[in-house]
Structure 1
Amino acid sequence: MSTPQPNTLGRGEEAGSPPTNNVRPQRGSITSLLIISLVFLMMTNNGGGDDLATRNQYKDSLSSLEWQLGNYSVWLNGSDATDFTLPSRPLGESDIISMVVPRPGALDPLVQSYYPNVTGFIRGDASFRNVSSELVPAIEWNETEVALKIGRWNWSATSRMTMSLLSKPAQVDEKEKEEFQGIAILHGHLEVIDGNNARELQLDFAGIQFLETGSVYGFAQDPGVSIDIRALPSLVPPDLLNITARAIVPALEDNIAKLKVLLTSNDMSENNPTPPDSTCHFAVYAQVHPSNISAIDMRELEDELMDPTGVSTVKRPPFQLDMAVISPDCGVLVEVKSADGIRSRLFFRKVTTYGGFAGLVYLGMLLLLSHQMSESRTPASLSRISRWSFIVQALADSMAFAGHMTFAILADGRPSMALVAPAFLACALFAYEVQFVLLIQQVQAPEDLAAALPLPTIPSPQAASPAQPPSPSENTPIAPSSAVPTAGAQNANATAPPQQDVSFLSIVRIIFQLVWQDDHNRIWYLILIVLALGLRIIVAPGLTVFLLAVLYSSIWVPQIVRGARRGRPSALGRKYVIGTTVGRMLLATYFLGCPKNVLDAKPRAWVYALSLYACAQAALLGLQSSVGPAFFLPQRLADSQGYDYHPPLPDTEAGPLGDCAICMDAIERPTEDTSGKPRRRGAQARASYSLAPCAHLFHTECLERWLAIKNICPQCRRPLPPL
């Protein structure tokens, strides 16, 4: 059994409420946030604990390992009292391996050297080859058995292979250290990536490396099956068979000791709970490329990497290797040429650098959002902002938080702490964006209500006096005659009380109305549902990239649409729009444009088009503020956007139009001066007054100042659309 490898990778305001300049979220949102946090923790809890079945499985594995060690030790001593025999490799395998991974000749240590430690990550493009006819041409294959071993995995679609390795010197006695100093025991994981759907097949790896020749030999198998490393001597050349067989004994003893420690602990996790995609057993042959530096310089590089002192060393050469992964029982060969590798410590430094970079980006976006929220606290500003732009950003930041936290958990040591910073800032940004969405919803809810309610039919607009009470037709709803109960009906209702429906469906309907009708709760529950779906999508890299691309490409589209429909430019500051666009495009371009990013994401050329598209949206928002909200639309569409507060009024009589209910001054009618020319013409003249949907007339300047405090009519308290 292989040793465990640490993972490396509105409400509207009431009529009598006092004016306020700031809009605050209601208390119910805090309760909703606590409920969602509890549900989220329940969803993400793995439910670990002492699993009796898993503990029994580990006990069986321990007994099997102890029996294997005793049996192998007897065979190693040359005794015949054992049933262990070294397995033989199939015919034709050595010829295939010699062509794919040829053994190098002797190196001059003054000119060339091999990497003495391959602990790190290896990534390379892979190609598939069917070698069933080349391995055993004289044996008839059992197609049914081979199909069962291959399973659901499509080996012909293999496009890439990654490998994480942990190298340790052979644990031998002090007397034998000099003899075994050129041998390292390897453990790790091997992942095969399907090029069609980006699925990953993970295999456990156990092997041995010879430092003088840079050769690696090992086995890879499904994590649910223990790797029998006693068969490693069958892979190595005959001249290395004896020393390989002796180096395996300490490795077996180490596996047994670690399994005993695991059994004494209370952390029992399910081992491979799902059926494997493939049960093919693989032999791994790899050859490290020689570097063009001397063995002394290579030793200095390794010492400086393991214990940095700041001394100057030679430039680190590339770490590359060739690899062949072959399965004789399935007839599968996966070939990898010139795979790029990076030492784990260098990778962790790279992750730490990325954590600092991402943290600065998220901190900048958080500061910009905080400043924007402080500048957009009034209803007049909030009514000009699209909540969907911030909902899109909140979804993207929630996925960024989940991704960074997952990466931080899988990382080890200092890189984990470096990734917590961008995860925390992304979570804070998500919380601020949701809070801003609730503020916008609180202001725009009366606006939506005003659009849904029918307007009263008034023959001619008249400005109401402040002292004049509103007419019953304006403020008091009149029920239709059919809705007024008669005396007989009242007596019938008094004698026979209505029967209450207490069925299960009615209870569910009432609970749904209580939960869903509140605007704040509805937004929180929608975000919870989308976040839960996003967490499920994260496990599929292809869908994650697609979803993030869609979100990032539509950040400002809702804001542009709202500005054009309402005829009002955006209230978002230019600093916020430009800073947020640049910050988000920097992160997207790093992951989808940099070929050596920390997640090994494949570069995609369309990310640059995505960045240009997002920048074009930001530029269009700026043009809407300077040129006009609907300047890019045809005139017939631009004129029909929103409610027109300045309609032409009939000239029925001379003199003022009436008194403004806000400033109590007369609203003058446009007249001609002494030269006979009109003071103002057309829309310019009509801009001096504003006629509300409820037919109340005000000065435009007065109504603008009022709507900066409340978005309701100062006369009849009816919700008003934005001015």
Structure 2
Amino acid sequence: MADRRGILIPLIILGFLFFSPDPGRPAAGRFNERPRVEDVVAEEQRSLWTLQNSTYDALGRGEDERRLNLTGLEPDRGYAWNALPTVKARAQEQLEYALGDAGKQALEQGRSVSGEVGLYQNVTGYVHGKWVRSKVQESVAIPQLNLSNYAPQDPFGLVRPTPFARNITGNEGDVRLRLREKDPAQYGGPFYGVNITMISAELTLQDNESGSEEELQVRGVYYSDFGQAVMTTTSDKFAGIFMLPHFALSERAFPAAKSLLNESIPRTIKRQLQGTLDQINPWTPNVNGLPTSPFDPPSCELIIYLQQLPPTGTTAAAYTTSLLSFLERELRFPTGAFLPPAPELRFSMLVFSPDCGYVLESKGEPDYVPSEGKQLTGPKIEVLYKNGRHHLTIFTLTLLAQIFLLLRQMREASTPSTRSRISFYTVAMLTYGDGFVMMTFLMGSLFIPGLWVNLSGTAFLAFISASFFGMRFLLDIWTGQAPERAQQAREEAEEERLRLERVRAHLVRIRAEREARVAVAAEQPDTADANVVATPPPPPLPRVAVTTQTMPDSLLLPATTQRPTDTGATPVFMPSDQQGLEPIAQPQGALDQLLTAPEARLASFGSLYTRFYLLLLGTLFISLNAASWPAGPRRFYFTTLSLAYLSFWLPQILRNVQRNCRHALNSEFVVGQSILRLVPFAYFYGYKHNVLFAAQDFYGLSLLVIWLWIQVVVLASQELLGPRWFIRKDWAPPAYDYHPVLREDEEGATMPLGLSEARAADVSAPTSPLVDRRASLGSLPTARRSSLPEKAKAKGRRVFDCAIASKISRCQSSKLEDRAMLVVWEAWVFGGVDEVSAAMSGL
């Protein structure tokens, strides 16, 4: 009966996925403190009314800030709002550096700079770079907050206050931004002569000193006329989206942002009332969109200024606003026009936290030279998808080459002898890599709509490589090596049986000795009341021979008992009439069960198939979780995983040593797979413009390449110098001798085959079969002796040849003789004596 225990774990996983609660659904419970939608909408409407009746620069007018009744602006909170004018001034300096006098005029007069400076109108894309502490940090006082005011209260009392999350304490780190600009037709337009639209971004701040990584989502507005974005977070303790217009850098930009928010916020509130938007906080800073739990620690709120910079380079002057607009239309709706490459997005960043009191900015000019930092740079989303399609095409060709090499190796390993030399685990690790690519690309196609078709196609090709060709090759190798596994299981069972027999014999001997001592003690008189010298204990008795007649069938036999040879055949009872054959029921003792259990316990290939995919899913889940780890542990995990994967030649090296064989894999397969499997690692470790924006790590790439090619060199050395040249002989099991010394008989004769005849014929050493066949063309014994090597004749050595080669030579000689006889017979039948003489002379 098939073993179906392996299906238990997939059923548990599927049950967990189907019956797990929806994370977006409110949790039902007695102590659920989440507010109702009606209460949240009422608070939002109150904040919207405050925004509609506010004026510019209300945050910096002293007592006027009390009249701006918004969450987060209360005087008793102690936020660092006094530093907001300084932060605004720093943001204005970045704008003037990017656009010059045109930027200053755009802020004051509200006119566009498109005719003077080349800027993108739509900034949807990815940018990344480095951040440092801003030079205005010294003028910002660190707020002294009472953490007890932010600690939630549960039914058992006040929860212990915890430090704020997203509190950046280092001096530098990395930053990534994914910008998403909304459709200007629905979420934007010209307001008060300023073109403005809604924008959101996923921000990732990584602290190099502490190793922490913070990921959040911010929302705001983008002024396309002068390329500036103002974004903020929104939470229960900070109504950032409602005070966003007050973060504008000029009074001219304030009414445009205010008008845009007065249109977009009521639309969001209406969706909440209609039930089409079930989020408690539509502007939540969580990337996954889930609401903040009351028991989560408070987080630092952020206000972000982004300023677009013109393209750089030798041809930067040619990229005017009109050309960039044409490039944007062509990238979004391609017509096949020949265009220059689209320049990268470039932004300067300024981050201010009013409750945690830190100010960060991007690292770049003019404060730093380009070699230290180039601000935030990255491709537009259309360029990123285009490059991703090209890179996927190259990787698809790599997969096709891997499949081609695998098919050639499968064709070469078409016999059981060749399959027995190939390591099962080497092919399994190669197949495992293709399966991991398949699962990763399928997962990525769900979240990257622009590359869905390409990712799905590449994932299907990896699925073909892993599930069809790779698993088929594994099945062939598994089937070919089944006798070896059975033999190994029998040897292990035999060792276990011998160990149990030794233990049983030892127990029987101890029991006999104990019984003998008891018998001797019973014969001695009672000396309890007399002072009698104690007699020494009797000597130990010899071991008791136990035979099968005195032991039941369920007990184990001693090691000295003679046993019949088990041929594996089932005994049958054959009556005289040769009909009604019935098997004789044999009692199954402990020894018989032990000898037959290994074959029954051999794991089937189906169970290995299940374990393979379970291990694949487990690795995928751990890798997805590791993507959110800090930089140090994440880099260590993926480097360790890469080293483990690129060790796929190690099992083959061990297999060669174990079996003392070579030529297991073709050289083109080894070299080709080694090169092709390094392509993804070279892309992510060495290519700067990869789709994941992974930092270049040439040291890590060099480590992976060196480690893999060390294995290739060892495999090549095993082909040339022997599989066991680098280990001692006693470290490996004895290998089979393909050139044994043949003996006279099988009863233990000690003289080599033919030595007695050689002495009788007074020959110094008998010849090998191949030399004998060559010498048989002459009639004198000297012809045979002349064909021997000079060293053999001089020193009296015996020359032996391989039995297989001798058989082949004998067959070839017989074929030549048959052909010669056929020629002579044809000459005799169809000719005369002269033709026969001519044929014989020709031979």
| TM-score (normalised: structure 1) | 0.71
**Aligned residue number for residue 484 of structure 1:** 548
From the superposition, tell whether residues 445 and 656 of structure 1 become closer, same or farther in structure 2 (CA, over 3 Å): farther
Q: Is 1:538–2:623 an aligned residue pair? A: yes
Structure 1 counterpart of 2:300: 280
Secondary structure of 2:243's partner?
Answer: helix
**Preserved contact between residue 137 and residue 359 of structure 2 (Cα < 8 Å):** no
Determine the structure 2 residue equivalent to 1:611: 705
Q: How does 1:520-669 map to 2 (within 5 A)?
A: 520-521=605-606, 523-539=608-624, 540-541=626-627, 542=634, 544-605=637-698, 606-625=700-719, 627-630=720-723, 632-633=725-726, 642-650=735-743, 652=749
Higher relative contact order (CA 8 A, sep 6+): 1
**CA offsets, 1:508-558, max 9 Å, x none?**
xxxx99997424255335434532431232121425522442134312122
Residue 308 of structure 1: SS of its match in structure 2? coil
Q: Does 1:296 align with 2:322?
A: yes
Is 1:168–2:176 an aligned residue pair? no
The answer (yes or no) to whether the contact 2:170–2:208 under 8 Å persists in 1 is no
Q: Could you tell me how far apart the structure 2 residues matched to 1:516 and 1:129 are?
A: 67
- Which residue of 2 is the match for residue 493 of structure 1? none
Indicate which of 79, 86, 91 corresponds to 1:95. Answer: 86
Which residue does the alignment assign to 1:205? Answer: 218
In structure 2, relative to structure 1, the CA distance for the partners of 1:287 and 1:369 (3 Å cut) is same
The answer on whether the counterparts of 2:233 and 2:240 sit within 8 Å (CA) in structure 1 is no
CA drift of 1:219 comes to: 0.6
Number of residue-to-residue matches in the alignment: 610
SS at match of 2:233: strand
Q: Does 1:122 find its partner at 2:136?
A: no
In structure 1, what is the equivalent of residue 416 of structure 2?
A: 379
CA deviation vs aligned residue, 1:212-266 (integer Å, no higher than 9, x gap): 22221111367x9996411102211241222221211122134335546764799
CA shift in 2, pair 1:610/1:701, >3 Å: farther
> Could you tell me how far apart the structure 1 residues matched to 2:83 and 2:47 are?
30
* Aligned CA distance change for structure 1 residues 258 and 349 (closer, same or farther; 3 Å): farther
Give the Cα–Cα distance (whole angstroms) in 1 for the partners of residues 9 and 799 of structure 2. 52
Aligned to 1:464: none
Tell me if the contact between 1:129 and 1:156 (Cα under 8 Å) persists in the aligned partners: no
Residue 399 (1) aligns with residue 422 (2):
no
How far 1:363 sits from its partner (Å)?
A: 2.6
Letter matched to residue 307 of structure 2: Q
Q: Which residue is 2:198 aligned to?
A: 185
Counterparts of 2:84 and 2:238 in 1: how far apart (Å)? Answer: 23
Query: Counterparts of 1:466-481 in structure 2 under 5 Å?
Result: none
Distance between the aligned counterparts of 1:286 and 1:425, measured in 2?
A: 42
5+ long unaligned stretches in structure 1? 1-26, 456-478, 491-497, 499-511, 658-667, 691-697, 703-723
Residue 361 (structure 1) shift: 1.6
Q: Which 5+ residue runs of structure 2 have no aligned equivalent?
A: 56-63, 74-79, 103-112, 151-160, 283-287, 312-316, 364-374, 493-503, 506-544, 555-586, 588-596, 628-633, 756-767, 776-783, 811-843
CA spacing shift, 1:235–1:487, aligned 2, 3 Å: closer
How far, CA to CA, are the matches of 1:420 and 1:57 in structure 2? 43
Deviates more, 1:49-58 or 1:591-600: 49-58
Specify the SS of the correspondent of 1:271: coil
Q: Could you tell me which of 341, 344, 347 is aligned with 2:381?
A: 344
Of the structure 1 ranges 54-63 and 275-284, higher mean CA displacement relative to structure 2 is found in: 54-63
Match of 2:359 among 325, 333, 336: 333
2:242 to 230, 246, 249: 230
Matched letter for residue 416 of structure 1 = W
Task: Look at both structures and tell me which one has the larger radius of gyration over its CA atoms.
Answer: 2
Question: What is the deviation of 1:488?
Answer: 8.1
How many angstroms apart in 2 are the aligned matches of 1:133 and 1:53? 44
Structure 1 counterpart SS, 2:131: strand
The alignment yields a C-alpha RMSD, in angstroms, of 4.8
CA contact (8 A) 1:592 1:602 kept: yes
Residue by residue over 1:647-691, the C-alpha shift from the partner in whole angstroms, topping out at 9 and shown as x without a partner, is 33456467679xxxxxxxxxx87987731775898997264279x
- Residue range with higher mean Cα deviation, 59-68 or 391-400: 59-68
Query: How far apart are residue 420 of structure 1 and its match?
Result: 1.1
Amino acid paired to 1:569: R
| Equivalent residues of 1:172, 1:250 under 8 A apart | no
Is the contact between residue 221 and residue 280 of structure 1 (CA under 8 Å) also seen in structure 2?
Answer: no
C-alpha contact 1:62 1:256 (8 A) present in aligned 2: no
Match of 2:823 in 1: none
Task: For residue 800 of structure 2, give the secondary structure of its aligned residue in structure 1.
Answer: helix
Give yes or no for the alignment of 1:255 onto 2:292. Answer: no
Amino acid at match of 1:408: S
Distance (Å, rounded) in 2 between the aligned partners of 1:425 and 1:259: 44
Decide whether aligned partners of structure 1 residues 582 and 41 sit closer, same or farther in structure 2, where only a CA change above 3 A counts. Answer: farther
Measured in 1, the distance between the counterparts of 2:120 and 2:347 equals 10
Aligned match of 1:23: none
Task: Verify: 1:425 aligned to 2:461, yes or no.
Answer: yes
CA shift, 1:408, in A, is 1.0
Residue of 48, 52, 63 corresponding to 1:76: 52
Identity within the alignment, %: 19
Partner of 2:496: none
CA contact (8 A) 1:28 1:520 kept: no
Structure 1 335/700 Cα, relative in aligned 2: closer, same or farther at 3 Å? farther
- Cα contact 2:658–2:732 (8 A) shared by 1: no
* Matching residue's letter, 2:95: R
1:53 corresponding residue in structure 2: 26
